[in-house]
Amino acid sequence: MVGRKRGKKMYTCDVCEEHFCRSGKLEKLPGNCPSKETDKDRMKEIYFEEENYRIAYHSAGVEADGYCDKTRLEEIIDFSQRSGYKKLGVAFCMGLSKEAKILCRILRHHGFEVNSVICKNGSISKELLEIGEEQKISPGSFEPMCNPIGQAFFLNQSHTDLNIIIGLCVGHDSLFIKYSEAPVTVFAVKDRVLAHNPMGMLYLSDGYYKKKLYK
């Protein structure tokens, strides 16, 4: 994998005030700027692998045509159509079943074949992971574990062209992405406290959530 085989590097783009990479003016780059790395040439080569080129090329088109105009869902539809994707997979959280149903209905309306797999697929007890009663949400009852590897497995079996995540738990989404054979995009992330808008906490980080975040 690109970037994992060499010695440890430290990058801090978050504190950069100039963002010369955006302007192309690379004369005054900070010492640890990724734009100074010679690995850029290797990265460029990888973009010309067939699937990578298709994704990057059509992503740029979607960004240009829909900038500040199209919603996330419209962009996913546009990207899929441009890329020639016919079979879409939806991996969703049981808590967002209603939203997943609407999403899939809209995607089918646009001519896609849609395969959807819920997080609790397989009905596997949390006891498989040695999770005790005191660690359950509802102690004393059968509690199935989320099965993101299963979601990836079944969508792989369906030979989907692109998989869409809607509301998988933190960590479960990581496992799904790890084992999905098709490229993955995210339609929505789950945040039960902030109405599935995790960015809200950042916007309130200097106010309402300041003590909680910086305790």
Q: What is the pLDDT of residues 115-151, one digit of tens each?
A: 999 999 999 888 887 778 778 777 878 888 999 999 9
Alpha-carbon distance of 145 to 30, in angstroms, equals: 46
Q: What pTM did the predictor assign?
A: 0.90
pLDDT, residue 5, reads: 59
pLDDT, residue 26, reads: 77
pLDDT, residue 131, reads: 79
Alpha-carbon distance of 172 to 166, in angstroms, equals: 12
**What are the 10-residue block averages of pLDDT along the chain, 215 residues in total?**
67 89 82 83 93 97 95 98 98 97 98 98 86 77 91 98 98 98 97 94 94 91
pLDDT, residue 3, reads: 60
Alpha-carbon distance of 155 to 163, in angstroms, equals: 8
3-state SS, 135-165, equals HCCCCCCCCECCCHHHHHHHHHHCCCCEEEE
Sheet containing strand 184-188, strands side by side: 113-118, 87-92, 162-166, 184-188
Structural domains for the chain:
32-69 (no CATH), 73-213 (3.40.50.1860)
pLDDT, residue 143, reads: 86
pLDDT, residue 30, reads: 82
Amino acid residing at 196:
H
pLDDT, residue 133, reads: 79
Token pair recorded at residue 204? 């309130």
